[in-house]
Each structure stands twice: as structure tokens, then as C-alpha cells.
Amino acid sequence: MTSRLKPPSLPRTVKVSDPYAAVRLAPVSVNGESVSQVGVEILDDQEHWQCLNIHSQGYQLISNSIVQQTAREITSLSNLNWTEEKTIWTGRFLSILYRSNKIVDIPEVGDAVALGFRATNSYDGSAKFRLDLMAFVLSCSNGLMSPRYFSTYTLKHIAVHEFDLNEAVSVLNVGLDTLEKIAPRIVTLSTIPLNLKMLAKVANKVNLPNRDWAYIVQHLEDAHSLWDLFQLSTHQISHNGRGRALINTSEKVGDFFLGNLVDRITA
């Protein structure tokens, strides 16, 4: 089948409730003439093929079913035990959250963090296939991401790339050391009182959409420290972020709080 959709006329929303619905690559024609690009098509809820996006020649389609299968294979090879916690599916972007049985208690904040990772994929080019290590705050299951401390395994959607299971497993197996390193930083954040001056400083450094700051401000009543503010931020991002913005914003916020902010406080 040939996809006749030009990029500007791609549907804004495609109703596909199953993140593992069938997908395929299709040739693209413009005004009846074949072009070098390829289209990614998905079988929607009405059993119709819908074009999600147009990509350049050489694009490697990685199906969500393959992502799930690979993630499960990686976790089975890891020396940790993993539980599949949550799946986020927007119709174009997939995120699967996993939590391990490795936990670090942080009595100073009355909580604990568990090692976790996020497997992501997209059909519209908004995200590569990635395994991002992270920490889960057990009281609220917020995901703390920080490229500065947590490792990442990435596979581009280019045909010459293949899965390296050994490399991906090694990324997961070093994660517990990361939890041990960030625990003191969480303690430091919990010791710094949250006041208007500190809130303004964070707001100037953390570029969040107005809707996210609106949620955070509305729930500041029980926030007394920078750790509380960090949790409010990660909660909003984890539960309302989508696609590339979800990953990029999570990483920026994590690096700022766990890295730059703590470094300035302890300098």
C-alpha cells in the first residue's frame, strides 16, 4: 500500500487504544509521484491503516511490541528483579515504567527510593528507543531522572543500528550504585527550607510550562523543603508529560535539583 498523505495533512489524533497494535512502513507518493520518504502506518481501532508520520529513507521502524519484548528480555538477564509498573501510550509515543526490588532507605525524609527504568519509543520521531535509568520515590512512585547520574541506553531509528542486549543489561546492573550516590543529595534537599526567595530562584532556573507551575503553586501548602518542591515537580511531570517533552523536562529538572542546586548549597 502507498501512503498518499503529505506531512501537513497528517491527522492530529489517531485513535489506537492498543499500544502494541500492528504497524508497518509504506511507500509515499505526492500527487501520484513516488518519493524517497516512507510513512509509518498503524492499524487503528476501526481496523483502518492510519499514517502517523513521514520519515526519510533508511528509517528503522521499531514496533512497540518489539520494545516490550526487548525490555522484558533485558530485565530477565539483569541480576535484579523487575516489575512492570505503568504504561503510557499517546497513540504515537510509548513509555513503559519498570521498578526493581533494589531499594535504598532514606530515613531522614521518611521514605525510600527504588531503582527503576523507563523504556520509550515513538512512531512520529519524537523519541528514540531508550532505556532510561531512574529512581522511584516509593511513597508516590514519582520518577527521578538525571542524566548526570543515571545511565541511558539509546537506539536510533536507523537501519544500521541493532540491539546490544549486553550493553543494555550492564546499564541496569550499575544502577544500584547510582541510588547510593543520590541518597545524600535527597537528604540535603530535605534540609533546605522552602521560602518565597528559594521558590523564585527555582522558578527562574526550571523552565516548566505555566500549567505545571500552576499545579505546583496550588499544592505548596504541605511543601516545607526543596525536597518537597522537587517531588511536586516530578509528580506533575511524570503524570502529565508526553513524548519528548516528558523526557527532556524530567532530565532537566532532575539534573537541576539533584546536581546544580545541591552543588551550590554544599559549596
| 82 and 166 assigned to the same domain | yes
- Cα separation of 103 and 7, whole Å? 46
* Overall domain count for the chain: 3
Lowest mean pLDDT among 33-37, 51-55, 108-112, 195-199: 33-37
- Kindly state whether residue 211 falls inside one of the protein's structural domains: yes
> Which stretches of 27-121 are DSSP H helices?
64-77
pLDDT tens sequence across 222-255: 889 999 999 999 888 877 766 667 778 888 899 9
| 166 and 199 assigned to the same domain | no
Which structural domain range is residue 258 located in? 187-266
| 154 and 255 assigned to the same domain | no
- Kindly state whether residue 1 falls inside one of the protein's structural domains: no
| 174 and 197 assigned to the same domain | no
Angstrom distances, CA of residue 220 to CA of 212, 214, 217, 230, 234: 13, 10, 5, 11, 14
- Kindly state whether residue 122 falls inside one of the protein's structural domains: yes
- Kindly state whether residue 205 falls inside one of the protein's structural domains: yes
* pTM to 2 decimal places: 0.82
pLDDT tens sequence across 94-118: 989 999 998 999 999 999 999 998 8
pLDDT on residue 228? 93
| 171 and 209 assigned to the same domain | no
| 77 and 160 assigned to the same domain | yes
pLDDT on residue 161? 58
| 96 and 78 assigned to the same domain | yes
- Kindly state whether residue 2 falls inside one of the protein's structural domains: no
pLDDT on residue 205? 84
- Kindly state whether residue 219 falls inside one of the protein's structural domains: yes
Q: Please count the other Cβ atoms lying within 10 Å of the Cβ belonging to residue 221.
A: 6
| 175 and 97 assigned to the same domain | yes
